[in-house]
Chains A and B, each alone.
Chain A
Amino acid sequence: MANMSQAIRLALHVGETKLNVTDIFGQDVGAPLGGVFTATQGLKTAWNSPLDERGIIGAAMGIALTGNRCVAEIQFCDYIFNTIDLLKIAGNTLWVTNGNYPMPMVVMTPVGAGIHGSVYHSHSFDAWATRLPGWKIVMPSTPLDAYGLMLSAIEDPNPVLFLKPKALMRVRGEELIPGEPSDEKTLKAMIDQPVNERERAKWKPRWPELPSFSIPIGQGKITRQGDAATLVSYGRTLLLCNQVADQLRAQGKHIEVIDLRSLYPYDWQMLKQSVQKTKRVLFVNEDTDVTNFAEHLAYRTTTELFYELHARPRILAGKNLPGIGLHQDLERASVPQVQDVMRETLELLDETP
């Protein structure tokens, strides 16, 4: 099974060989490193840019304005903040020009905590991202979803922000990517760049034959079925929700878990139908909890489903802190952990109207 880095690499390979991607670029994206998470190793159109986030986004916009397709990377989302006005412009260009200029570009960036990245390698960006009208925002939690969503992002004629949960980049999935060798060692031998410098100089990837596949943007996925409560999440915290649902199932409590996968547009119909069934909902993510994207979802749930709810919609998110501290006790205290999801879920189940 591919891990998420390998899955993204496979998708980018399809992008540059079948979907007209001309440039995959950013800091350390090209040889010799192939990305700090190795997601761009061996790609023929990958190249290193100056260490200049504004230049990277500006260049991607310029490439998109010519109608060419590119995938640009900001090495960590912690460093994307100085591009925020460019992201605004990328999102509003089609609208401002009254339909004259589409902006077909993909920006990918690792997000979130979970790898002891300290203050400037642990930020989340989902709440900020959803305040960029005109963009589509995706965030996978499995390698297969990462693969399918990246292909959809490349094919989409609009700007798409691909948020990579960095804690999951080495996590393997449970589903094979179509065309992927079933043995992970075989895949590794085919597409992972050797660490040894001498071997690396001679190395060339051997890409598997990959049939067409995509996961539509805007489509969520029910990862656990249940009728007692709904947990809605994405990225790293989605896996925590799955864990909690599995533990509670053993106790006879059936929790439904929705992986939103796309933050904008989001799958409201899936969410709505689930909450109408369970009457209880908890939204989980790790961005700071003031002006959090889950607040919008909870607001909408309250507004549209108020008289069907048996409990107030809850949000479990990161604490409203200026940063994530390096020590593991600090990190764990700052963003949701599995025990936090369990506690909130149990409280949600116990709440009486």
Chain B
Amino acid sequence: MRKNISQQPSSRRGAGFLKNAAKKAAKKAVFKKTTVTPAPKPAKRNTALPLANEILLTMHEHMVKARVLEERLIKLYRTGDAYFWIGGAGEEAFGVPLGMLTYKGHGPEFDCLHLHYRATPTMIALGMPMIDSIRLQMNRSTDPSTGGRNFCNHYCYPQWNVMPVGSPIEVQYGMAIGTGIVQRRLHQVGQKGISIVTGGDAGTAEGDFASSLIWASRPGAELPMLITVQNNRVGISTDYSSQHGEKHIADRGKAFGMRTAVVNGNDAIETYLAIKAEMDYIRKTGRPVLMEFMVSRLYGHSSATGANRENGEDCIELLERKMIDAGVMTSKKAQEMYKNFDEESKRIADEVRSEPAPKAESIWNHIYVENENADWRKF
């Protein structure tokens, strides 16, 4: 019988779950291929928190870096260096653990990431340099994701299987089915890559979300998919409770016999452990999981809602408090980190400002592979 951990929010699942998960995580702290930024060794070993200090420090550093970067992207919008901002400031406690735990690489043997436009924390954790995000925000020709063609946070990194992020809020759930189909075959020959898809709560009203649940759970053809929802309880300006009758979005997975979980996505430690546990399950069984993460939205949806600081629990402050209380880091170190990343992001923005814009004639590039002629005037 499959274990179902979905009966209640994980914050009320009890200490046993966290303890066991912590033991497993401590044994094999980071998945084989995940890149982790080297962190300074702590003065003393932490015993109060269920993750190794190295993981905590790395996670915190990525979270701060992602937040500072998002704030820089907003500033660039405000100073007229960019047309628009949209992002995931406030979701670092979800995005960073996801990126840290991803089996990173190119090809379906590795994890395939179908992210949405709140993916900066995941990208930072994967190893994306700040400059790539700023190039995207400032539409430079040097932008590796789109060459200046798309909005910020619309990342695309084939080298890490980061599939193109689009503006339609639901289509990634459908495309994840396809990578899952390919990976299912690979699981049968011992590979362990999984398809990971992220999206917001509002987007789950779209049919593609239902498609992902249906296709992932076809009897005898289950797909190794980690289907996730980041529920900040608002779609641009529309309140979740005014549109959703279901108690938890994750409950929808139960109808498909799917393992589900509701996680406090503002708690980076709990999130890390929960993602780790579910990824392990998917890699082992080849079956799908639906996870819902309750998160904050700290700067609104996008420029469309002002991109101003809003009320809500700050996941980085929460992690910092825990780490400081446990003696894993000091307040001073944390403040220095913010300052350093802020200065770095400012310097990078100045550098990117001088980089070339895309050339007008480049509009005809890449309509077809190898720049095959797409202009009917030239047939």
**A interface list, Cβ under 8 A from B:** 22-23, 49-50, 52, 54-55, 57-68, 70, 85-86, 89, 93-102, 133-134, 136, 157-158, 218, 264-269, 296, 300
Contacts and interface: CB of A to CB of B under 8 A. Distances in A.
A63 B164 contact: no
20 contacts: A54-B174, A54-B207, A54-B208, A58-B174, A58-B177, A58-B211, A62-B177, A63-B178, A65-B175, A65-B179, A66-B178, A68-B108, A70-B178, A85-B168, A95-B366, A96-B156, A97-B164, A98-B366, A99-B365, A264-B376
Contacts of A99: 147, 365-366
Contacts of B98: none
Interface in B346-379: 365-370, 372-374, 376, 379
B247 to A, nearest CB: 26
Contacts of B156: 96-97, 100-101
Contacts of B365: 95, 98-99
Contacts of A58: 171, 173-178, 208, 211
Given A52-B211, A89-B168, A158 B176 contact: no
B171 A89 contact: yes
Contacts of B370: 157
Contacts of A59: 174-175, 177-178, 181, 215
Interface string B144-168: 1111011000101010000110101
Contact of B108 (A49, A66, A96, A296): A66
Contacts of A101: 156, 158, 163-164
Nearest to A58: B174
B83 to A, nearest CB: 16
B108 A52 contact: no
A55 B177 contact: yes
A158 B368 contact: yes
A58 B209 CA distance: 11
Given A89-B166, A89-B171, A50 B218 contact: yes
Interface residues on B, range: 35 or more
Greatest chain A CB density within 10 A among B112, B211, B214 is at B211
B29 interface: no
A133 to B, nearest CB: 6
Contacts of A67: 107-108
Given A62-B179, A101-B164, A300 B369 contact: no
Contacts of B143: 98
A62 B367 contact: no
Given A96-B150, A265-B376, A55 B174 contact: yes
Contacts of A102: 369
Contacts of B149: 95-96, 98
Given A86-B171, A266-B379, A269-B379, A64 B178 contact: yes
A94 B177 contact: no
B182 interface: yes
Minimum-distance CB pairs A-B, first 3: A62-B178, A58-B174, A98-B147
Contact of B163 (A65, A94, A218): A65
A97 B163 CA distance: 10
Contacts of B376: 264-266, 268, 296, 300
Contacts of B144: 98, 100
Contacts of A267: 379
B146 A52 contact: no
Given A50-B218, A66-B107, A133 B181 contact: no
Contacts of B214: 50, 52, 55
A63 B181 contact: yes
B211 A54 contact: yes
A23 B181 contact: yes
Contacts of B171: 58, 85-86, 89
A269 B378 CA distance: 10
B364 to A, nearest CB: 9
Given A58-B171, A89-B166, A268-B379, A98 B178 contact: no
B180 interface: yes
A344 to B, nearest CB: 25
